[in-house]
Amino acid sequence: MDHDQPLHEGTPMPGDGVDASRMPGHWLLARMGKRVLRPGGLELTRWMLDALDVGPDDRVVELAAGLGATARLTLARRPAAYTAVDRDPAAVTRLGRLASDRRTTMRAVRADAADTGLPRGCATVVYGEAMLTMQPEPARRRIVGEARRLLTDASSRYGIHELCLLPDDIDQALADRIAADLRDSLRVGARPLTAAGWCDLLASEGFAVTARRTTPMALLEPRRMVADEGMARALRIAGHALWEPSARRRLLHMRSVFRRHQEHLGAISLIAVPTPPARRGGIP
């Protein structure tokens, strides 16, 4: 493997041309060859899809679909339609090349998760992973509100998979310190909420939470890396990092932050359904 080349697999990657010391952490991980960029790993993603009960009658919209790891799992369930939304042109190019079953109508759209341009009520299932954490509060609400707009009725479902602060009564000063450390290491404005905070956000935008699961945040731990990527790819990621000192320093710094706050930092997935307008504003 030529150590000067990122692991593109023949297609463009988000962050191409940006120095490793400055690019967002998720772009750096993708450049190193990591394909599962969700805080709870494949285990929590699979739980989310199971809980969403994606099936052949569903019309699915994935917000900020990224590299397509979850898209592949969704397409394997053969929904009636699948739409990937992402604002990064390289991601949209990759997503547009995904193979789908002939019974699934598949497309990739370049748009912002808060303003997809898709028709109202076009989906029975909407989900997004590792995206709300990186948004300021007003943008979070717009994204969740857009998910609500896209869903059809009370039988439709919305899923999220995000970073989570532990416990619900965490000291605010500690929460602020964790957010600052995450921003410093990831180069994005990450600010996770507690489980109660995520539930409140969904409730305020017209959803009732029906299921939830939390797992440890172990994105860069060897055991999780192997479980998510397989042994061969995990070794390739480590080998590629060895050739790039600036990338290696970033990865080690990110892992040190995750480990420093491991007692108070986890991953969460929530499943929610739309509520009638009269019930909005609180969790039933």
* pLDDT, tens only, 37-84: 899 999 999 999 999 999 999 999 999 998 899 999 999 999 999 999
Residues in the chain: 284
Assign 149 to helix, strand or coil: helix
Contacting residues for 62 by C-beta, under 8 A, at least 6 apart:
70, 71, 74, 82, 83, 84, 85, 126, 127, 128
| Other Cβ atoms within 10 Å of 110 Cβ, number | 16
Task: Output the CA torsion sign for 229, 233, 239, 240.
Answer: negative
CATH code, residues 25-274: 3.40.50.150
Ranked by mean pLDDT, which of 33-42, 196-205, 232-241, 242-251 comes out on top?
Answer: 196-205
pLDDT of residue 187: 86
Phi, psi of 59 (to 5 degrees): -110, 110
What would the pLDDT profile of 253-271 be if each residue is shown by its tens digit?
A: 999 999 999 999 999 999 9
pLDDT of residue 245: 85
pLDDT of residue 1: 28
Query: Distance from CA of residue 181 to its chain's centroid?
Result: 20
Q: What is the mean pLDDT of the chain?
A: 89
d(CA 225, CA 202): 30
pLDDT of residue 14: 54
Assign 49 to helix, strand or coil: helix
pLDDT of residue 16: 57
pLDDT value at 5 more than 50: no
pLDDT value at 129 more than 70: yes
In 3D, which of 279, 119, 265 has the Cα closest to residue 205?
Answer: 279
Mean pLDDT of 145-158: 94
Domain boundaries, the chain: 25-274
- Residue 125: band (very low, low, confident or very high) from pLDDT cuts 50, 70, 90: very high
Percent of the chain residues topping a pLDDT of 90: 70
- Residue 11: band (very low, low, confident or very high) from pLDDT cuts 50, 70, 90: low
Give the chain's radius of gyration (CA, Å): 18
Tokens of 231: 């042994």
**What is the dihedral angle through the alpha carbons of 186, 35, 65, 25, rounded to the nearest 10 degrees?**
10
pLDDT of residue 9: 47
d(CA 6, CA 4): 7
pTM to 2 decimal places = 0.88
- Residue 278: band (very low, low, confident or very high) from pLDDT cuts 50, 70, 90: low
pLDDT of residue 99: 78
Mean pLDDT of 105-126: 97
- CB of 56 within 8 A of CB of 86? no
- Residue 10: band (very low, low, confident or very high) from pLDDT cuts 50, 70, 90: low
pLDDT value at 2 more than 70: no
pLDDT of residue 244: 84
